[in-house]
Amino acid sequence: MGHPFPIREIARQAGLSEATVDRVLNGRGGVRESTAREVHRAIADLDRQRTQVRLVGRTFMVDIVAQAPERFTTAVRAALEAELPALHPAVVRSRFHFRETGPVRELVGTLDRIARRGSQGVILKAPDVPEVTAAVGRLTAAGVPVVTLVTDLPASGRVGYVGIDNRAAGATAAYLMGQWLGDRPGNVLTSLSSGFFRNEEEREMGFRGVMRARHPHRALVEIAEGQGLDATQYDLVRTALERDPGIRAVYSIGGGNNATLRAFADLGRECAVFVAHDLDHDNTRLLREHRLSAVLHHDLRHDLREACHEVMRFHGALPPAGPVLPSPIQVVTPYNMPTPPAG
């Protein structure tokens, strides 16, 4: 693989020794296949970030750790890398640790490896469970600041949270649902990827609170643990629809919307109102096709810029500032979709 990067830079990006990187690049053997993949992934990351690598300024190596479907982590990677040049004169280099699902111990293992190896900061999307909270504490003890992204860990030692006010987002979804369903009968399916993500729990509470107050006659049917993945989401939605013939609308908190719509279609059922979250590539297409009613969206570039600023403030590279305000919640319909950035 041809590349312009010295072994030292690749080793730092991959979090491996220079000797290991040298063995991989020169095909000397004695290296696990997964380690070789890390080296090649580090080269690919460096190539995407090459404009930053050449900038002169203080360098911050930041690790982005997220448990989320690929469509979301792809959006996170693109949003961060789009923001990197704007952080000049500081140079922010990023390492990505993404997984769709898996045991908590593996996620904790990733965080502990970062604590041992060292980092200027961690941007984290993770379930709110005691094991993760404890791992954040170990990072903090090692001098590594943690900023939570889109879902918070308020009982941990994190230095800040960036994202929307999730309870307000759920209340907004309930307002839209009530307006669009009007007096028509029908129950509402609420779909969470997991009960362990605080952002989803807060969205559900905001939604349920407003629905109970304003539309107490309308039943809410909850499904969870689909992990936002189409393969598991389809079965959960289909089972719910078969059990409850009155479901006519969906508030999708955790994703898997292709599968949800397919389940409705396979049973010959109408989804009269469908409110979802985030303009990822799936939801952008579904909204353009008028298969979603609205998407509650926020600017990931803004969130990641603020997360990087929080890391810089921790290290004294920026002056102190007040608490980061929640990101604005945008109600996006097929008629006001943001224009994609040029380039």
pLDDT top residue among 113 and 85: 113
Rounded distance between C-alpha atoms, residue 308 and residue 92, angstroms: 8
pLDDT tens for residues 261-302?
999 999 999 999 999 999 989 999 999 999 999 999 999 999
**Which CATH number characterizes residue 142's domain?**
3.40.50.2300
Rounded distance between C-alpha atoms, residue 287 and residue 279, angstroms: 9
Rounded distance between C-alpha atoms, residue 222 and residue 212, angstroms: 14
Do residues 49 and 74 share a domain? no
Q: Are 136 and 158 in contact (CB under 8 A)?
A: yes
Q: Strand, helix or coil at 189? A: strand
Do residues 32 and 117 share a domain? no
Q: Strand, helix or coil at 192? A: coil
Do residues 112 and 201 share a domain? no
pLDDT value, residue 170: 98
Do residues 73 and 133 share a domain? yes
Phi, psi of 296 (to 5 degrees): -85, 115
Domain containing residue 43: 7-55
Establish if 335 belongs to a structural domain.
Answer: no
pLDDT tens for residues 190-247?
999 988 999 999 999 999 999 999 999 999 999 999 888 888 999 999 999 999 999 9
DSSP-derived secondary structure for 26-75: TT---S-HHHHHHHHHHHHHHHHTHHHHTS-S-EEEEEEEEES-HHHHHH
- Count of domains forming the chain: 3
Which among 160, 199, 187 is positioned nearest to 312, based on CA atoms? 160
Do residues 34 and 88 share a domain? no
Establish if 334 belongs to a structural domain.
Answer: no
pLDDT value, residue 322: 82
Q: Are 110 and 65 in contact (CB under 8 A)?
A: yes
Do residues 265 and 321 share a domain? no
pLDDT tens for residues 66-92?
999 998 999 999 999 999 888 877 888
Establish if 341 belongs to a structural domain.
Answer: no
Q: How would you label 215-241 residue by residue, b for 16+ Cβ within 10 Å and e otherwise?
A: eeebebbebbebbbbbebbbebbbebb
Q: What band does 316 get if pLDDT is binned at 50, 70 and 90?
A: confident
Q: Strand, helix or coil at 163? A: coil
Within 10 angstroms of residue 320's Cβ, the number of other Cβ atoms is: 6
